[in-house]
Structure 1
Amino acid sequence: MIDLYTAATPNGHKVSIALEELQLPYSLHALSFERKEQKTPEFLKINPNGRIPAIVDRDNGDFAVFESGAILIYLAELTGQLLPQDLKGRSLVLQWLMFQMGGIGPMQGQANVFFRYFPQKLQGPIDRYQHETRRLYEVLDRRLGEAEYLAGDYSIADIASYPWVRSHDWSGVSIEGLEHLQRWIGALESRPAVQRGIVLPRREVLDDTAVKTAQSMLIQ
């Protein structure tokens, strides 16, 4: 049994989708950012960095894994699925996984901060991060013009990027003209496991109170 500690964010959705795709039994623990449950002493024992997602593998001596990319690799290796075992195939998946971890996630995350949450409207940072996110999308689009999925076959690389790319509107980033990327989004949206995982845990309605809470967390 896997214990999943998560919230309704792109990084959280990576792991819930992977667990659904791999058909692993898991228990869902939704953490509240507003109540700072990710900073409690109990959770910091699981993830010293105080971030979601994190898992605990109860069948492997209560082994804890944090960082979404590391979790995806762990689950893929645990099951022998979604990550090739041959050297080249494995490397290709990990290259595109790291592209998301080091590029799309940080750049789009900053686009979200400055476009949606930052108390002041700073157009320079907004433009910077939106433009860089769009550039990274164009890299994905070119790759997806060559292959059905990022590493050829469906893999944890696709699972890592999809929750970010699907939320492009929230970041103020257009995918107009990126036909291969749009095709890929549609393909993932049609997968039953993706449909199940992307709604876990239930996202709270983002009203003015939630936005103010996010803003206050930025300046603490």
Structure 2
Amino acid sequence: MIDLYFAATPNGLKAKLFLEEAGLPYRVIPVALSKGEQFKPEYLAISPNNKIPAIIDYDPVGTDKPVQMFESGAILLYLAEKIGRFIPKDIQGRTQVLEWLFWQMAGLGPMAGQIGHFNIYAAEKVPYAIDRYTREVARLYSVLNQRLEGRSFIVDELSIVDIACYPWIVPHQAHGQNLDDFPHLKRWFDTMGARPATIRTYEGVENVYTPKHGALTEEERRILFGQGAKR
């Protein structure tokens, strides 16, 4: 059994999508971010960066002690290696999966997160930031679109890379992007969205980047975006 500490952000949905694709038994433990549950000491003991997702694997390979992890990319890699699926065994395929996984973690996720923030959550419009991140996300979409030309998946077969990227493309409208401008990406996106595991993952899940989430209370805004360094 795996405990998944979850909120319906793209990073949280990555972990849930993997578990659904893999058919692994898991329990969802909701973390109410706007209520500050990510700062509770018991959660920080699992995820010291106070972000979701995090997992506790009670049936790890090679040890009787439960394994706890934070960081969505690390979680995907750990789980793929645990079950021997969604990551190629040959060095060329594995290398490509790692390249694109790090690309998602270092590029697509952070940049899409920034434009999602400035378009939906920011207390005031910041034209420079909106323009900057809209253009950068368009560039990243273009990179992925070119990669998917002539490919069903990002690295030939379904892998943790597709699972990592898909939830960051779901809120494309909040990113200021039109998927019709990226036909290969759109084809892949539609394929991923039709998978039974994806449908199960998103059942009852509300998109965190829909405009109705823009009206935060001042307390919610302080909790979500007002945390600084502890001294």
Q: TM > 0.5 between the two?
A: yes
Query: 1:208–1:178: structure 2 CA closer, same or farther, 3 Å change rule?
Result: closer
Note the residue ranges of structure 1 that are not aligned, 5 or more in a row: none
CA distance in 2, matches of 1:174, 1:45: 40
Correspondence 1:77 to 2:81: yes
Note the C-alpha offset of 1:84.
0.8
Secondary structure of the residue that 1:59 maps to in structure 2?
A: coil
CA distance in 1, matches of 2:143, 2:78: 26
Query: 1:75–1:87: structure 2 CA closer, same or farther, 3 Å change rule?
Result: same
| CA offsets 1:199-219 (integer angstroms, 9 cap, x no match) | 476668845654755533324
Paired letter, 1:175: L
Q: Specify the alignment match of 2:122 in structure 1.
A: 118
Q: Specify the alignment match of 1:88 in structure 2.
A: 92
Structure 1 stretches of 4+ moved >6 Å: none
Q: Specify the alignment match of 1:160 in structure 2.
A: 164
Q: Contact (CA 8 Å) 1:11, 1:53: kept in 2 or not?
A: yes
Note the C-alpha offset of 1:172.
2.2
Q: Which has the higher mean CA deviation after the structures are superposed, 8-17 or 143-152?
A: 143-152
Q: Contact (CA 8 Å) 1:56, 1:62: kept in 2 or not?
A: yes
Q: Specify the alignment match of 1:63 in structure 2.
A: 67
Note the C-alpha offset of 1:144.
0.5
Q: Which has the higher mean CA deviation after the structures are superposed, 170-179 or 1-10?
A: 170-179
Q: Specify the alignment match of 2:38 in structure 1.
A: 38
Correspondence 1:141 to 2:148: no
Note the C-alpha offset of 1:195.
1.0
Query: 1:161–1:153: structure 2 CA closer, same or farther, 3 Å change rule?
Result: same
Note the residue ranges of structure 2 that are not aligned, 5 or more in a row: none
Correspondence 1:108 to 2:115: no
Identity rate, percent = 43
Query: 1:203–1:183: structure 2 CA closer, same or farther, 3 Å change rule?
Result: closer
Of 192, 198, 222, which residue of structure 2 is paired with 1:188? Answer: 192
Paired letter, 1:152: D
Q: Contact (CA 8 Å) 1:140, 1:181: kept in 2 or not?
A: yes
Q: Which has the higher mean CA deviation after the structures are superposed, 167-176 or 90-99?
A: 167-176
Query: 1:22–1:213: structure 2 CA closer, same or farther, 3 Å change rule?
Result: farther
Note the C-alpha offset of 1:148.
1.4
Q: Specify the alignment match of 1:215 in structure 2.
A: 221
Note the C-alpha offset of 1:170.
1.9
Note the C-alpha offset of 1:163.
0.4
Q: State the number of aligned residues.
A: 220
CA distance in 2, matches of 1:146, 1:166: 22
- CA root-mean-square deviation: 1.8
| CA offsets 1:104-128 (integer angstroms, 9 cap, x no match) | 0010101011111111211000010
Q: Specify the alignment match of 2:4 in structure 1.
A: 4
Paired letter, 1:218: F
Secondary structure of the residue that 1:151 maps to in structure 2?
A: coil
CA distance in 2, matches of 1:82, 1:142: 22
Q: Contact (CA 8 Å) 2:17, 2:163: kept in 1 or not?
A: yes
Secondary structure of the residue that 1:176 maps to in structure 2?
A: helix
Query: 1:212–1:171: structure 2 CA closer, same or farther, 3 Å change rule?
Result: farther
